[in-house]
Every structure is written in C-alpha cells, then in structure tokens.
Amino acid sequence: MREGTDTLTRREDYVAPSHWIRTVDLSFDLEPAKTLVISRMQVEPNADRPGQPLRLDGEDITLTRVLVNGESVSFHFEDGQLVLDKLPAEPFQLEIRNTCAPEKNTQLSGLYTSGGGFFTQCEAQGFRRITYFPDRPDVMAVFKVTLKADAKRFPMLLSNGNLVESGPLDKGRHFAVWHDPHPKPSYLFALVAADLVCREQKIRTRSGADHTLQVYVRAGDLDKTEHAMNSLIASIAWDEARFGLKLDLERFMIVAVSDFNMGAMENKGLNIFNTKFVLASPATATDIDFGNVESVVGHEYFHNWTGNRITCRDWFQLSLKEGLTVYRDQEFSQDMAGSPSARAVKRIEDVRGLRQTQFPEDAGPMAHPVRPDSYQAIDNFYTATVYDKGAEVVRMMATLVGREGFRRGMDLYFARHDGQAVTCDDFAQAIADANPDSALATRLEAFKRWYAQAGTPRLKAAGRFDAETRSWTLTLSQHTPATPGQADKWPFVIPVAMGLLQADGTPVAGSERVLVLDSAQQSWTFDGLDAAPVASLLRGFSAPVILEWEASEADLFTLLGHDTDAFNRWEAGQRLAVARLLGAVRAGTPLMLDAAYLDAMRAVLRDAALDCAFKELVLTLPSEGYLAERLAEAGEPVDPQAIHAAREAMRAQLARALHEDWAALWEAHASTGGYRPDPVSCGRRALANLALAHLVLDAVAHGDTVWPGRALQRFKDAGNMTDRLGALSALVHGRSPLAANALERFHAMFRGEALVIDKWFALQAAAPEHDGEVFAQIRALAKHPDYSLRNPNRARSLLMTMTALNPGAFHRADGSAYAFWAEKVREIDGFNPQLASRLARALDRWRALAEPYRTLARAAIEQVAAKPELSPDTREIVTRALA
Ligand code: ARG
Ligand code: ZN
C-alpha cells in the first residue's frame, strides 16, 4: 500500500535537498473518481550538492507525463520515488502530470472526499499522494493553484493565499485561481472544493491592517460558527499584543470537515478543521467543547508564525513548531481565562492531560525523545511527547529566562529565522542568546537534553531541619529510568519553583524561589526558621517530572488548605486521594475513607473563597489510568479491576458522606442563567454536574428515587448541552433505571447532529463498568446503525473512549475486550492506517499489567501483528510493543 515507509528514517541521516523548487503552478481538474493534476515547477539545483539526481516522492498516484523544459526525459522509480537524472545544471522547468482518485482515498491523507466535497490533509506526507514532489519541509515554494470543478456540486473553490481570478467554464464547470505569496513547504498546501457556506467578518487590527476572516461550514451549521470566529479574532489580537506577531494575510479562512484524522491543520491561510473543533452552539456543545474550539482555533492560528513563517528543517524537529505552539495556545487560553484562579484551573487541566497520556507514553514501548532519533511512519510521532512534553520544555525555558526574557528570545528567533526551515537547536539558541546571563544560557547544552533524552525524570526531595542553626536543608536528586534505546541518562536541568509555609499555613516570607537542579543531587539551605517548614515544591508544575516527596499527611492537609499556589493545593488533594486509593489496592482490602480526609474535602466544598471550578477539580478523583501509572512507576503489577473497585468505592463514600454538601451545592449552582462559556459559569456548571452525579449515585445505591427524578427533569429542561449531558451522565453512570429512556430521548432529539451522536456513543462507552454490562453495551453499540468505523470521530467515540478512558470495561479477566479491540484495529487498518495505529497504542503498557491481563493483552497485540499486509504505521506500533 505504502512504499518506502516500512524502513527506518534516521535523524542523523539528514542531507539538504539536491534541488530547490522555487515556484509551483498547480492545476486541478477535480472529479471524485479521477482527478487530473498538472504541476509546473521552477527547479533550481542546490549549488551545495551539484550533479545529484532529483528524487520526487509519490504514493498511490498515476504518472502520465514528465517534461523538463518542455521535452520528455528518461526517469525511473527507486524505493517508491520518481528519479530523474541527467538534469540541467542550470535552473529548469519541470512539468508533471498525474491522476489520483479522491473518492477512493479512505486514509484521509492527501486529496479526499467527505460529504461530497474535496478536502486535503498534507501534513506530514500527504502531498505526495496528490502529485510527485520533494515532499519534505525544507523545500519551500511559492504556490499558484488553479481549481476546476462542477459549479453546482462544488460551488466553493478554495486554496491558500489570495483569490486572483475566478469564473465560469463550459459544461457547467467553473474555476478559481489562488496565489500564495509566502514560500511554503508542501505540507502546508491545501485545497477545498465543496458546497459550503461561510461566516465572514472584516477586522482592522491594532496596527491598522484590514483582513477578511471566514469560517466555512455545511449549510446547516452556520449558527454554530460564532464562537470559532470570536476565538479567531481573539487569537489575532493576542498574538499581536503578547508577541508582536501580526496576521500577514489579507484573507484567513477556516474550513470545517467531518471526516478528519486529527484535530485541525494550519495550512497557510486555509486552516482545515475537524468539525469537532469548529462547531459550537449552547444546545449542541459542552463547556469543554467551547474551550477546545478556542484553544484549537488559537493553536492553528499561532502556527501561522510558529510553524509556517518559520518551519521545520525535517520531521524530527516537529516539536519546534508543535511544542512551541501548544505552549502558545496554553498561554492564550490562560490569558483568556483571566483571573489567577481561572488560569490555575487551566494549568491543572493541562497537567492532568500530560500525566494521563504523556507520562505513560514516556514509560512504555513508544517512549521517544521530544526530538525523536528515528521513525518508520512519521504520523506515529504526532504524540503527547512531541506536543505536550515539548510545550513543557518551552515553558521551562520561559521560566528560566522570565516572561520578558522569553519575549526577547522570540523576537530574536524571528529576526534570525523568519522564512527559514530550522531546528530545535536554533530555537533554544535564540532564547538563550537573547538572555546571555540567564540560568538557561549558562546551562544550554545540558538543558537541551530535554530534547534528546526520553523518559520522565524522578525528582526526589528530602528536607532536614536543624533546630540549632534554625535552618532547613532541602536536598533534590534526580534519576531517569531507562527507555528503549537509552539505558543511561545524563542529569536534566530542572527548574523547581517552590515556597515554604509554616505549620499553620502562613507563607514563610521570602521563601519563594525557583531552584535550578542541574546535577544528580544538590542541596539548598533556608535560614531563620523556628520550626520545620511545610514545603510546597514544583509549584505550577514547573517541570515535567515525577516528584517523589514523602510529605506527611499533616503537611498535605496544610498545603490543601493554605498553599498560595493553587496548583499545589490541588496536587496535595490528589496525593491524599492517591494514598487512600492505592493503600486499598495494595492491601487488597475494601477502601474505607477516614474522617480527616472527608473533613478536608468538606472544607474545600464549603470554602467561600474558592472557585467552583477549583472545587470540582479537587473533588474529581485521580483517573484509573493515572492510578495505574503510579503503581507501574513503583514497579508493582497493575490490576485494573482492583483500581476500578477502589475508585468506585471511594466515589460512593464521598457521595454518602458529603450528601448534604452535594445537595447544597446543587441548589446553589444548578441554575447559571443564560448560557455563557466564561470560566465562572463553566465552573458552576461543572460543580453542579459533579454534585448531581454524586447525588444520583448515592440515591441509586440506597433505593431513593428523588435525585434520579430530578436528574431526569434536568435532562429534559436543560437549556444547554453541558447541563443536559451532565444530567444524562449522572443517570447513565449512576446506573439509574431512568437512564435507558433518557438515552433514547437524547438520541431522538439529536439524530441529525453528528457531533452530538458521537457524545451519545462516548457517554455510554465511558460508563463505570459493572459486571461486564458496560462492555456488553459497547459491543452492542458497535453494531448500531449509526456507528461507523469510516468516520474517525465516530470510530473513536466508542473505541478510544473505552480503551483510553474506561479501564474497568477494557481490562477484563476473560480478555474479551482486548479481542474486540484487536479485531477493530485490524479492520480499520485495512482502510485508514493513521486511525488504526492510534488505536493500536491502547495496550502500550501491557507489560505493567498483572496476570491474567498481561498475557491476554500480549496475545491481543500479537493478533494485530499477525494480520497480513498490516500498514507500516500499525506495524511500527505493534513491533515496538512486542519488542
Ligand atoms: N499540524 C497539525 C496540528 O498540530 C497536526 C497535523 C497532524 N497530522 C498528521 N497526519 N499527523 O495542528
Ligand atoms: Zn500544531
């Protein structure tokens, strides 16, 4: 199917291209069954590599003609590439004609059809599925694109840049010509030809420039585009204000498509989005969806500078643009959230995501450095490590040079590299050079180990109080476990933001600082203390490490109640919960919550000074996946069912013991008035939904019908999707007898809303497992007429939800859910390798499992590996998993 991708590509093998492509003139005759592509390129031999043949990538396309300066030339194919030798030593014109079959393109990479329209996805290597080209990011060309298609079926013809000409053709066809003045790599090319409508807004920015902003969607979806448009306008203003980066295009377009492998794509001037991250209305989208739309719109927009104006030299440098852009979108969302506590809530959510997905990745068979050393399929390296750990690496740089220093560094980065394709080293060098005296610049080589070494460092902290000298000495040490191909690690440079509290919770004046650990072990002494302090370490999660700190229960209660750092307040609460949950799992005894913990949770819920959003985070227990990782880190076998049972027991006890508080919170926050997705309203809805979930859970356990009845009423009356889904989830996840009927109503109510039907599947797939009922339901839902593996969102709604978010349903002692998973991965791999290889990662951590899960999981992975003609993508995943 794919040629040339089942071999390893190595970072150290990088060589500059033999030829530069200065301009590309592309012409498309768009027909779903067979599209004709003509590419006319202005080619210039690279003076540094004279006499080399020109190798052009191509995949699943049919070549019909090759001309050099208008003459036919000899060519051959080698390793799947089209090779031209005996080329002129001077610049020349190359013309390629080929065809492709968009409607047969089920991989959704390259040019494909969705809902009757044409769309493209070229990152990382989709352009070669459109035409022969040096499909690598360091070859940058000015594109001119002519689109021709049937005018009725494809009224909108879009590509990058500016529209220069359009008009009718014969036989009911029409055309449009687009010109993008910015040289760009092929992965940023895009075209759309479809029946779409658009929301348009003209803006004038702070610097006085005029722009046209457009959001294109299917006809029925226009009422769901306001939030995306507002998010785009906010992103433009933010990048200009915070980083001095202006929109460099007259026209900026966002297009929504319902079949899309990933979240969205930053094609120059023509971003293409998964509908999930564009469409949002109060009736169909939750608060979380609204937040995601804002952050993904921001992310793709910010790529216009960090990714497009400065791009990657090669795909090993992917984090150069992704880590930096995730950092930027996180900062944007925090700034949009506004208040310090709303910012902290966002930070907690980001860290929770990092620890839920990146930490396990870094501890498993797919562990790789932020800048990987090799790959078989680059699409497998669009990972939590490259994105989210990459963002943490940028955040640490910002911590080490300070906010202004980071801005200076960004300025220097653009002054040096605008218009270039560069490396992660170039970025770090610019930040350091702009801050020559900083803790970053003085340790730059050591700091860059964050790019090179995989694995999550363990940071050990130990404190010793000396009453005689009234001093407290903190000793920090680090160790990073071995990862595939990397047995021994050098020490990392770890910024540890911290502060000290007195036992009564008051801050110790002047104790706040950022320690920089840059060796295996180091100590710091704090003087003038009357007693041993309570240490608040790694504030704001200042580094992506596992902090091994044996804080006493008393200290954790103090931190939970009083720390000035909201992240560490939350973290202390999580540590208290983890200790209880894992205590029960390890002892093999039923979990029994103690009064001290319950009192502390009650105090949080009753604290008038705390935001609802924060309370909701504190009272949300660590996920089963997170708990599993904690055991795995300690080298203990993971029994997912024991973890599930302990967590369910703890939820039930919180529901019972805090019943009055849950009821009071529900009364206070159930009604938030007209829908606004601001942090305060979102926090109130989140807390009210958490309260309702506990109230229904407790009622069902005790045969009470009042709260389930209220939840049903809420479900029916809800004025927005957050409240409606919250009530539905309380009923379904609380196993209320009213759930089945509510589910049916919900389905009927939203029959025509694909993204809501995705939620309907996902909600059921996420239900806490009980005697195998949930897995049985998932299996049944997989046969539902609305279910389909062909649409990635729909496929994920059941499968990803089960494998990533519902360990209780997935890890079954009879292995039936593993077998079900293996069967689906094999099936999907036959038509969409990228989607299959994502799903194939579900059992990455099989080695950490207790028996019988471990053996059964291995067998299921072998089952996937045994499929004849497995794609290189999925092959890479299962081979690593079994290695
Ligand atoms: N650059 C896109 C983003 O992060 C992601 C594209 C990934 N696509 C892929 N097939 N791996 O915004
Ligand atoms: Zn990105």
Q: What is the DSSP string of 409-429?
A: HHHHHHHHHTT-EE-HHHHHH
Domain boundary among 138, 168, 194: 194
Ligand with an atom nearest the CA of residue 262: 1
Backbone angles phi, psi at 578, to 5 degrees: -60, -45
Nearest CA to ligand 1 atom 2: 265
Q: CB under 6 Å to ligand 1: residues?
A: 123-124, 261-262, 264-266, 299-300, 322, 379, 382, 834
Per the domain annotation, does 736 fall within a domain? no
Report pLDDT digits (tens) over 459-513.
Answer: 999 999 999 999 999 999 999 999 999 999 999 999 999 999 999 999 999 999 9
511 shares its domain with 485:
yes
Residue nearest to atom 12 of ligand 1 (CA): 265
Same domain for 189 and 119: yes
Which ligand 1 atom lies nearest to the CA of residue 378?
A: 11
Report d(CA 459, CA 448) in Å as an integer: 18
Count of structural domains, the chain: 4
Mark which of 657, 682, 707 sits at the end of a domain. Answer: 707
State the Cα–Cα distance between residues 386 and 262, nearest whole angstrom. 15
Cα 577 from Cα 580, distance rounded (Å):
5
**Residue 1: predicted pLDDT:** 38
Structure-token pair, residue 735: 């196993």
Whether residue 625 sits in one domain with residue 519: no
Tell me the average pLDDT across 714-734. 98
Which atom of ligand 1 has the smallest separation from the CA of 296?
12
Q: Determine whether 753 is an active site residue.
A: no
In ligand 1, the atom with minimum distance to the C-alpha of 303 is: 12
Residues 405, 492 within the same domain: no
**Closest atom of ligand 1 to CA, residue 109:** 10
Do 541 and 689 fall within a single domain? no
- pLDDT (tens digit, 9 = 90+) per residue, 134-172? 999 999 999 999 999 999 999 999 999 999 999 999 999
Residue 519 lies in a domain: yes
Angle of CA points 876, 877, 882, to nearest 5°: 100
How remote is the CA of residue 329 from the centroid of ligand 2, in Å? 10
pLDDT tens across 739-794, in order? 999 999 999 999 999 999 999 999 999 999 999 999 999 999 999 999 999 999 99
Q: Is the dihedral of CA 811, 812, 815, 818 positive or negative?
A: negative
| Distance between CA atoms of residues 467 and 38, nearest Å | 81
Consecutive H or E run containing 854: helix 853-865
For residue 261, give the ligand 1 atom closest to its CA. Answer: 10
CA of 212 to the centre of ligand 2 (A): 23
Average of per-residue pLDDT across 592-616: 98
Q: Which ligand is nearest to the CA of 833?
A: 1
Instruction: Report which bound ligand comes closest to the CA of 263.
Output: 1
| Residue 725 within a domain | no
- Residue 255's DSSP bridge partners are 216, 272
Token digits for 268? 């120059």
Distance 172 CA to ligand 2 centre (A): 38
Catalytic residue selected from 300, 322, 361, 616: 300
The pair of structure tokens assigned to 140 is 């940058």
CB 153 within 8 A of CB 195: yes
- As a whole number, the mean pLDDT across the chain is 98
Question: What's the rounded mean pLDDT across residues 824-833?
Answer: 98
Residue to mutate (ligand 1; options 105, 107, 123; most atoms within 8 A of CB): 123
Reference 265, options 110, 96, 475; nearest CA is 110
CA-based diameter of the chain, in Å? 95
For residue 664, the CA-to-ligand 1 centroid distance in Å is 45
* Beta strand extents in 311-398 (DSSP E only): 311-312, 374-375
Do residues 465 and 433 both lie within one domain? no
Q: How far apart are CA 198 and CA 225, in angstroms?
A: 9
Both tokens of 40, joined, read 């006319």
Among residues 451, 468, 489, which one ends one of the domains?
Answer: 451
Question: Are the C-beta atoms of 817 and 810 separated by less than 8 Å?
Answer: yes
Atom of ligand 1 nearest to the CA of 299: 12
Atom of ligand 1 nearest to the CA of 307: 1
Please name the residue whose Cα sits nearest to atom 1 of ligand 1: 265
- For this complex, say whether ipTM is above 0.95: yes
Which amino acid is present at 3?
Answer: E
In a mutational test of the pocket of ligand 1, which residue from 262, 266, 267, 326 has the highest number of ligand atoms less than 8 Å from its CB? 262
Residue with CA closest to ligand 1 atom 5? 265
Q: For residues 444 and 478, state if they share a domain.
A: no
State which ligand 1 atom lies nearest to the alpha carbon of 834: 10
Residue span of the structural domain in which 462 resides: 458-550
Q: Are residues 346 and 470 in the same domain?
A: no
pLDDT at 207: 85
The pair phi, psi for residue 498, each rounded to 5°, is -155, 170
Question: How many angstroms separate the alpha carbon of residue 322 from the centre of ligand 2?
Answer: 5
Centroid of ligand 1 to alpha carbon of 124 (angstroms): 7
Percent of the chain whose predicted confidence (pLDDT) is above 70? 99
Q: Is residue 224 part of a domain?
A: no
817 alpha carbon to ligand 1 midpoint, in Å? Answer: 30
For ligand 1, what atom is nearest to the CA of residue 126? 10
Say if residue 626 is in the same domain as residue 610. Answer: yes
Q: What is the DSSP string of 275-341?
A: GGGT---TTT--HHHHHHHHHHHHHHHHTTTBTTTBEESSGGGHHHHHHHHHHHHHHHHHHHH-SHH
Name the residue at shortest CA distance from atom 3 of ligand 1: 265
Angle at 352 between CA 350 and CA 358, to 5 degrees: 90
Tell me, yes or no, whether 543 and 395 share the same domain.
no
Q: What is the pLDDT of residues 282-333, one digit of tens each?
A: 999 999 999 999 999 999 999 999 999 999 999 999 999 999 999 999 999 9
Three-class SS string for 221-256? HHHHCHHHHHHHHHHHHHHHHHHCCCCCCCEEEEEE
Distance from the alpha carbon of residue 420 to the mean position of ligand 1, in angstroms: 20
From the CA of 850, how far away is ligand 2's center (Å)? 36
Other CB atoms within 10 A of residue 676 CB: 13
Residue 206's pLDDT band, with cuts at 50, 70 and 90, is confident
Average pLDDT over residues 860-875: 98
Asked if residue 288 belongs to a domain, the reply is no
Residue 6's pLDDT band, with cuts at 50, 70 and 90, is low
pLDDT at 84 over 50: yes
Q: What is the mean pLDDT of residues 719-736?
A: 98
In this structure, what token pair is assigned to residue 740? 């089945």
Cα 582 to Cα 182, 251, 446, 590: the distances in Å are 55, 54, 36, 11
Return the CATH number at 356: 1.10.390.10
CATH number, domain with residue 642: 1.25.50.10
- Specify which residues 252 forms β-bridges with: 213
Can you give the CATH number for the domain in which 533 is found? 2.60.40.1840
Contact of 614 with 683, CB cutoff 8 Å: yes
Q: Is 751 part of a structural domain of the chain?
A: no
Q: Does residue 503 share a domain with residue 395? A: no
User: What are phi and psi for residue 266, nearest 5 degrees?
Assistant: -90, 30
Q: Which residue has the least CA distance to atom 11 on ligand 1? A: 379
Residue 528 lies in a domain: yes
The pLDDT of residue 4 is above 80? no
| Residue 158, domain CATH | 2.60.40.1730
Three-state SS sequence of 827-840: HHHCCCHHHHHHHH
Same domain, 73 and 177: yes
| First-to-last C-alpha distance (Å) of the chain | 24
For ligand 2, the distance from its centroid to the CA atom of residue 692, given in whole angstroms, is 36
What is the tens place of the pLDDT at every residue in 627-677?
999 999 999 999 999 999 999 999 999 999 999 999 999 999 999 789 999
Q: At what angle do helices 566-587 and 553-562 cross, to 10 degrees?
A: 150
Using most ligand atoms within 8 A of CB, pick from 382, 834, 838 the residue to mutate for ligand 1: 382
Atom 8 of ligand 1, residue of closest alpha carbon:
123
Residue 777, both tokens: 């339901």
- Looking at all shown ligands, the one closest to residue 322's CA atom is 2
pLDDT at 536 over 50: yes
Among the bound ligands, name the one nearest to the CA of residue 832. Answer: 1
pLDDT at 80 over 70: yes
Closest-approaching ligand to the CA atom of 122: 1
Task: Give the span between the Cα atoms of 472 and 466, in whole angstroms.
Answer: 6
**Alpha-carbon Rg of the chain, whole angstroms?**
28
pLDDT digits (tens, 9 = 90+) for 679-699: 999 999 999 999 999 999 999
In a domain, residue 156? The reply is yes
* Cα–Cα separations (whole angstroms), residue 342 to 337, 423, 610, 720: 6, 34, 11, 22
Ligand 2 centre to CA of 380 (Å) is 14
Bridge partners (DSSP) listed for residue 479? 458
